Structure 1
Amino acid sequence: MTTEFNLPGSSFEEIQKILKGYSHAPEQASLDQLSKLTGLHATVISRNNKFLSDIGLITGGMKKSSTELGKKLGRALDHKQDADAQGYWKEAVQTNEKVAGLVTTVRIKGGMTENEFSAHVLYVSGQKNNAGNKTGARCVVDVLLAANLLQEENGKLVVSSAPAKETSADLKLAVLTPTQPTTQENGNGGGAETPLPTLPVIPQTSNLTPQIAINIQLHLPETENAEVYEKLFKALREHLLSPKE
C-alpha cells in the first residue's frame, strides 16, 4: 500500500512541545536550535516535521519555520488558551484533505472505538504497522479530538456537533410581506384566528445580550371585503414594522 499521508512520530504531548518551540524559534531554525528550546532530541523533532508540514503548521527545507497558523497555535498552547488552540487545530487539519477526510469514516460508521479508529488511521495512512506508527496514528486521533472534529461519547468517538454559524444575513431585519389571509373557524364558530409570522429581532453580537421574539395573533372578523384586510396589514406595517418617529 502506498503512503497516503505522513504520520507524526511522537505522542500528542511531544507534538505540542515542538509547536511551542517553533513559535519561539527564529526563522529558518535548525534542529539543534529547536532541540535546545524544547528539550527534545533533534531526531524526535525531525520525525514529526513531515506531518506538521502536511497540515500547514511549519514550512521550509532543511531548516524550518512556523507558518502564521503555526505561530498562532504555538502561542495559544504556550498560554493555555484552549479555545483558541482548538480553532487553530481545526484550521490546520482542514488544510489537508486526507487527514480531514478521516472524520468522514467515523460519520459513516456512526462512531468507532478509539482502538478501532486508531487502527483505521494507521491502515489508510499507508505506513508500516509498527510501534512508532501506532503512536503516530494515536496522535492523529488526539489532534482530531483537540480540533473538536471528533468527541468521545458513550465510550466511542463520534463526529462533533457543529455549532450554528451566524451569517451576515442574520444581522439584517427581514421584511415581512403580507400574504393572502387564511381563515380558520374558532371554537365559537365565528371569526378566524390568523397567526402572523414572528417579528424578527436583530441579534446582538454579544452572547450575553438576550434576544426577544414577539408573537402576535389576531382575531379577524368574517368578511369577504378585501379592503378590511388591506387596511389591517397597512396598519401593522406602519405601527409595528416601520413606526414613524
Structure 2
Amino acid sequence: MSDKINLPSSSFDELVKIIKGYSHASKGASLDSLAKLTGLNKFAISGNNKFLSDISVIQGGNSKSSTDLGTKLARAIEHSQTGDARSCWSQAVSSNEAVSSLVTAVRIKGGMSAEDLASHVLYVSGQGNNGKNRTGSRTVVDVLLAAGLLENKEGILKVATPSDGASEKPIEASESLAPKEAEPREPAQPIAVAEVEKSVPPTVNLSGLANTPQIAINIQLHLPETDNAEVYEKLFKALKDNLLSDNS
C-alpha cells in the first residue's frame, strides 16, 4: 500500500455533499447525474474520487458507487446521528494506512495546530503546494476530527482520549479472581480455668404475680487435659468460692 495520500479537492462540506450524492445515486451513476444530485461541478466531484476510494466510501472503476460504509455514513449524517457518523468516519480512516498514520504523527508531536497538521498532510501527500491541495489537506484534518480520532484543545489538536469508562485501569485477574489466603491463626491455648456463664434476668417486682419466673444458671466447664491434680483443686475451689458461697 502506498504511503502517499490522494488529497480531496474540495472542502469538508462539499465532500459530505458528494458522499450523500453517491449514496442516493444508482449504481455506476455518471458524473453528470451526480452533479445534478449534489449541485456541484462534475470536475469537483471527480477530483475527490481517489480520496473517497482510498477510505472505502466509494468503489468501482470509471463508474463508481457508494460502498455499504459510504451509505451508512451518508445516512447517519442526513439524520444527524453524530455518534454513528463518527463511527463510520473512524472506520473509513482506519481502512487506509496512510491516512490513519496521521494520528500517529500527532501523537508523536504531542499535539499540533490545525495549520501545522494540514501542512504536514500536504507534505506527506507528495503533491504540489497550491490552493486546491491546501484545501484538500485541511479537509483531511477535518475528516480526522469528524472521526473523533483528534480533538481540539485550546487551539491544539491532540489525539482524542478514550471515554471515562474505557480509561479506567482494568482490574487484574490476580486482584479480582484469585481467592485470598486465610490469615494464619494463633494455635488454640489450653484452658486452665473454668468458664462460667450465668444468665440472670434483671431485678423485677414479683409481688402479685401468679407465676413466679425461675432464674436459670447454666454452668459450662471446660476441663483441660492435664495430669496435674493441683489444676483441678484450684478449679473446684474457685467454684465453691464464687458460686456456692453466700456472696455469690
> So what's the TM-score if we normalise by structure 1?
0.69
Q: Is 1:16 matched up with 2:30? A: no
How far does residue 79 in structure 1 lie from its aligned partner after superposition? Answer: 1.5
In 1, Cα distance between the equivalents of 2:128 and 2:176? Answer: 60
Give the drift of 1:176: 4.1
Partner of 1:77: 77
Alpha-carbon contact 1:21-1:34 (below 8 Å) kept: yes
The separation in 2 between residues aligned to 1:3 and 1:110, in whole angstroms, is 22
For residue 224 of structure 1, report the CA deviation from its aligned partner: 4.5
* 1:80-95 equivalence runs, <5 A: 80-95=80-95
Query: What's the CA shift string for 1:26-49, capped at 9, x where partnerless?
Result: 111110110010000100100000
Q: Percent identity?
A: 54
Report what 2:186 is aligned to: 223
- 1:180 is displaced (CA, Å) by 2.2
Paired positions, count: 181
- CA distance in structure 1 between the partners assigned to 2:118 and 2:86 by the alignment: 20
- 1:1-245 mapped onto 2 (5 Å cutoff): 4-163=4-163, 176-182=177-183, 222-224=185-187
Q: Shift in Å at residue 150 of structure 1?
A: 0.3
Which residue matches 1:197? none
Give the whole-Å Cα distance in 2 for the aligned partners of 1:93 and 1:107.
16
Deviation at 1:78, TM superposition (A): 1.4
Counterpart contact for 1:59–1:66, Cα < 8 Å: yes
- The structural deviation recorded for 1:133 is 0.3
Larger radius of gyration: 2
Cα distance in 1, alignment partners of residues 56 and 37 from structure 2: 21
The one-letter code sitting in structure 2 at the alignment partner of 1:62 is N
Q: Does the CA contact (< 8 Å) of 1:86 and 1:147 recur in 2?
A: yes
The answer for unaligned runs of 5 or more in structure 1 is 184-221, 226-245
Shift of the 47–3 alpha-carbon distance from structure 1 to 2, 3 Å rule, reads farther
Letter in 2 for 1:143: V
How far the C-alpha of 1:3 sits from its partner, in A, is: 7.7
TM, length-normalised to structure 2: 0.68
Alpha-carbon separation, structure 2, partners of 1:115 and 1:178: 55
- Tell me by how many angstroms 1:62 deviates: 1.2
Q: Counterpart of 1:9 in 2: which secondary structure? A: coil
Native 8 Å contact 2:151 2:157 kept in 1: yes
Match of 1:212 in 2: none
- The answer to whether the 8 A contact 1:3-1:126 is kept is no
Q: Deviations over 1:61-93 (max 9, x none)?
A: 111100000000011111121111000000000
TM-superposed deviation, 1:178? 2.6
Q: Which residue of 1 aligns with 2:208?
A: none
What secondary structure, in the 3-state scheme, does the structure 2 residue paired with 1:10 have? coil
Task: State how far apart, in whole Å, the 1-side matches of 2:138 and 2:80 are.
Answer: 22
* Letter in structure 2 aligned against 1:137: S
SS at match of 1:101: helix
